[in-house]
Structure 1
Amino acid sequence: MPAEQPLDGYLFDLYRRYIGEPESRTDVYLGFGLFLGGIGLALVALLLFLWSTTLEARSAAYFAWAEPAFALVLISLPLLMLGIVVLLPSDRRVRYASVGGVAVTIAATVGFLYAYPDDWNNYGENYTIEVVATYAVGLSMITASTGASLIAHYLELARASEAVEIEDDDEEDEAESYTDEEIRSDIDSAMEGVELSWGGVEKTEHTRLTFSEDDFADVDVDTTAGTKTVRSTGVDAQVAGLKGLKGGETKTTTSSATVDEQTAKLKELREQRKAEELAEADDSGSLESVATPISSLLDRVRSWLKRN
């Protein structure tokens, strides 16, 4: 069995734009044919009626143009409405009711052609009421069928829209719900290969510490002394430690000597500084002792020269 060809064409594009996806070619072609045919018959009827108004009223020529104009108008409206019912995805019973209404209006139109103009509008037998009543029944049937088709179509569109929204909400809920195992697995996958360190120091696998020769140039370490742990509780030391953790500044190197050794070295530095100050004071005093006799001798020589 050959594969069904896709429904392509201008009419099918119009159908998709205003109604939906077409189910068959027959509905599209027949529906648009009836709809456009009804509009065409109405335009022809208008032209015939306008031409009849240019002729003498109630003359044979006038009735020859006016009678088909009225008949086409009576047929055009039911055909147009039947085209709407065929185009819409209507129920079969609704379509049957529409076809029945069109049949009744056609029967009324035939009655109009039989009665007009001799037995119409208070002339002759006057079948006006019978023809108009029959036409009204048929037009009511086609109008009710068209309204039912439109309502059913809009309800179907509303249900389809709600179904799409519900599916979107379900997909979003499914996409946003995660179990604890999935979250832990995602975290482990993301942190795989990432090395954490303190203070920006690159992590290494060995336990050795290496320093440059300048780091401990001014530190005198006593290798004979026992190992002691010294913890600083000063504010400066704590601030320096925090800066070292941030990794932005170099941590100050601390001595591993004991507190007694550091105190002794400070005392030695103070005594050395004091001795240097006393030596400078003695040197300045000896210079003054030598300079004073010389200056007095010079003053005596100047005074002797002035007297002589």
Structure 2
Amino acid sequence: MFNLLNTLVENNKKYGKEGKLAAYIPALLEANPNDLGIYIVDTRGKEYFAGDYNKKFTIQSISKVVSLILAIKDNGRENVFKKVDVEPTGMGFNSIVNLEASDTGKPYNPMINAGAIMTSSLIDGKDVEERLKKILDFLKIVTNNNDIYVNENVYLSEKETGSRNRALAYFMKSTGVLDGDVEEILDLYFKQCSIELDARDLARFGVVLANDGVLPWNGRKVIPKDVCRIVKSIMVTCGMYDASGEFAVNVGIPAKSGVGGGIIATVPRQYGIGIYGPALDEKGNSIAGLKLIKDLSDELDLSIF
């Protein structure tokens, strides 16, 4: 496995030159666009890695998986999906047209920005810090890593440039869909997107999802099986922005990307996969990371279809 991963990383590193860093969040421009790394954990706890797997980056939209899990755990699936739909969208992850076109006024799914702002608002807690602690504590458990923090520079950069997300949130507030203090909800959302992990952390989280919510390293169940199933289903249909259909055809596994360059993927009952490659394609997905995971899926026949 190590030889395969090293070969795949070397073969796909070149594609980073074809992508661009996420310039609309200025702090993300500090990344090296040539970085590419992968980490894999199987359901027995064995780990494999290659490339720049230990580079830290902010998880950005990958945090949407966490807020969805916590929202369902805190409120139940019925109450969450009264507030957000589960349908794919062919528009961008930060589109306001989706909200205006929706018959119900609800966000199309939890993996676009409006949907994630909604699920973040549903996490129980008396204030932003208590809700953020729940997110961090959850991530520490599913990554088996207590050294997880918010990158303050990225958070401040997100907050300063987050006008589109403010527009989404206030639009939902104006239509009566979003409850609570909008600025507090947005502050939580900006902070959760600015949490730093590496590819190993993503792979460990991915294998917990692959293992139906059970930690491979100690057998503890931390996510209900039905919640894992819901989350993986939505990752398949909506996790890669408006390239999710193409990803399902070419790779065929549940995955979620973020504009920090991360991809988390989960192969049911087999693997968790974490990838880092900060240069993005026009859809906001890691350009070299997509090539890498497609080659990996082809080599190991990972598609669930």
TM-score (norm 2): 0.19
Give the greater-gyration-radius structure (CA).
1
Structure with more contact order per residue of length (Cα contacts < 8 Å, sep ≥ 6): 2
Considering fraction of residues, name the structure with more strand: 2
